[in-house]
Amino acid sequence: MTIETEQREIEDSQQKHIRHQGMEAMQVLDVIEKDFSDNPEAMQYFYDLFRDVYCNGIKPHPGKEMIGTMCVQVPDEIIHAAGGIPVRMCNGFYTDEEAGGEFMPAKSCSLVKASLGMLKSKTNPYSEGIKTIVNPTTCDQKKKSAGMMREMGYKIYDMELPPVKESEIGREYWRRSVRLFTKEVGKITGKKVTRKGLKETIRKIGRAQNAYHRLNEARKLTPLPFLGKDMFVVTNAFFFDDLERWTLATEKLADEIDKRVENKYNTAGKRSPRIVFTGSPPVFPNLKVPLMIEQSDAVIVADETCSSNRLLNDMVSVDEWFMYDMVDAVADRYLKSCTCPIFTMNDDRIRRLIELVRSSNADGVIYQAFAGCGVYEMEQRSVAKAMEKEGIPMLYIETDYSPSQGGQLSTRIEAFVESLKARSRRK
């Protein structure tokens, strides 16, 4: 009698990392896709995209050089015009956060740690194609982590962003940064940014934004035609997907949603509270909190985050279609209306939140802050105060990427949702 033993290859740490990553992505995608019954058909493109890239090892933009961007302020228009492909380096994997833990103090932002871990372990689907990373000087953790990326061997382009956005000095400072970037990015990609090229990409991104806005307007409606988790999936895909393909897929989705609106299709429960989501950005696969909200019979009808609304909301307006005006117009888009908490004042963010609550008929706000994300933690106080003044209930959640927190978090969210329901009954 012979005993057959199955021969298993012992995987190395990188393979293990990739396997864990795939499992993590798969788990979340299964929830997004299968735990909800009325997904729009056109969402399949986006579900498949994430499955391909994160579970099936299909690389986006094969053979092409991509340019990593650290934050929402890096002008995509200009990178595209130089023939580059911008890919956001903000990462949501717990597997990567663990790998990135060695770089940062214990109490620091999960997102920053995860991005570092991703770049260090070179396991992400883009690692082969990325040599240069553009680092706008936003929060301290991002700024310092760029230095560490430099040590890892990446070329870092520091793009100077002012800490004050209201002043003319700040505006001019940022315009100079963007003008310089327009010149330098051509050296990175080997293709100069031309008038024609920039005009074209401004319009292409404008068209993408229009598709986003169609969805964003539709979800303000009652009955609600689609869920907030799908919106996050769509906008997260914008981080790395091919611009034109993304636009077409989003337009197709918007067409389907328009039909749902016509037919008064409702994805929300009878008394589901309507939520505006704000704070630290949900980045795939860390859609934990949005998913918990929508699994607790609430619906997300608007958001104010840099992985969604802030990424696509504001559009470029050009007066004279020449380089001198287009570049400045692009610069303005990324500074003036940016509601990022790294700026000294947060009035615009508060105004945006109130407007979103009003225009989308929301019942409350859920504010997520990653533990260690100083700027969002600090702004919590003023936002909470402003919401109280407006009579808008708000739940503040401190969270990170670890999967262990689940039970306690969902209890808090459920309690908040119940309180909103009770509140609307009283009305």
Partner 1 sequence: MSIKSRIDRVDLRPFRFWFQLLAFVFLVYGGHLAVDLGNSLPTFSCGYNSQGTAGVCYLLPLQHQLAQPWERLFSPAGMAVLGGFGLFILWFVVLNKAWCGYICPLGTIQDWITGLRKRIGIPYSNYSDDHFNKLKVIKYFLLLALIFIPLAIGGQFISHDWGVPFCKICPARMIIPAFNGDFSQWTIDFSSNTKMVLTALGMFIVGLFLVGSFVKKRFFCFFCPMSAFHFIFSKLSILKLKKDGSKCTVCGDCYRVCDMQIKPIADDVKSVDILKDDCILCLKCVAACPEEGALKVDVLGKTIFEATRGGFSKRMGMEKNDD
Binding stretches for partner 1 (CB under 8 A): 166, 168, 171, 202-203, 206-207, 209-211, 213, 251, 313-320, 322, 324-325, 328-329, 332-333, 336-337, 348, 351-352, 354-355, 358
Q: Closer to partner 1 at the Cβ: 202 or 276?
A: 202
Q: Closer to partner 1 at the Cβ: 124 or 309?
A: 309
DSSP string, 309-335: HHHHS-----SS-SHHHHHHHHHHHHH
Contacts within 8 Å (CB) and 24+ apart, 258-261: 258/214, 258/218, 260/40, 260/218, 260/225, 260/226, 261/218, 261/221, 261/225
- The residues, any chain, with a CB within 8 Å of residue 203's CB and separated by 6 or more, are none
Quote the CA–CA distance of 157 and 176 in Å, as a whole number. Answer: 15
* SS3 call for 190: coil
Q: Closer to partner 1 at the Cβ: 89 or 383?
A: 383
Closest CA to 292 of 380, 370, 227: 227
* Smallest separation, CB 329 to partner 1 (Å): 6
* Smallest separation, CB 205 to partner 1 (Å): 8
Q: Closer to partner 1 at the Cβ: 287 or 316?
A: 316
* Smallest separation, CB 253 to partner 1 (Å): 13
* Smallest separation, CB 170 to partner 1 (Å): 11
* Smallest separation, CB 70 to partner 1 (Å): 22
Quote the CA–CA distance of 154 and 147 in Å, as a whole number. Answer: 10
* Smallest separation, CB 52 to partner 1 (Å): 26
Q: Closer to partner 1 at the Cβ: 96 or 328?
A: 328
Quote the CA–CA distance of 238 and 107 in Å, as a whole number. Answer: 29
Q: Closer to partner 1 at the Cβ: 146 or 202?
A: 202
- The residues, any chain, with a CB within 8 Å of residue 254's CB and separated by 6 or more, are 211, 214, 215, 218
Q: Closer to partner 1 at the Cβ: 34 or 358?
A: 358
* Smallest separation, CB 347 to partner 1 (Å): 8
* Smallest separation, CB 199 to partner 1 (Å): 8
* Smallest separation, CB 278 to partner 1 (Å): 15
For 412, counting Cβ atoms within 10 Å of its Cβ (0-12 exposed, 13-18 middle, 19+ buried), the class is middle
Quote the CA–CA distance of 106 and 113 in Å, as a whole number. Answer: 10
Backbone region of residue 69 per phi and psi (left: phi > 0; alpha: psi in -120 to 50; beta: other values): beta
Q: Closer to partner 1 at the Cβ: 29 or 316?
A: 316
Q: Closer to partner 1 at the Cβ: 354 or 409?
A: 354
Q: What b-and-e string marks burial along 120-142, b requiring 16 or more CB atoms within 10 Å of the CB? A: bbebbbbbebbebbbbbbbbebb
Quote the CA–CA distance of 368 and 404 in Å, as a whole number. Answer: 17
283 within 8 A of 92, measured Cβ to Cβ: yes
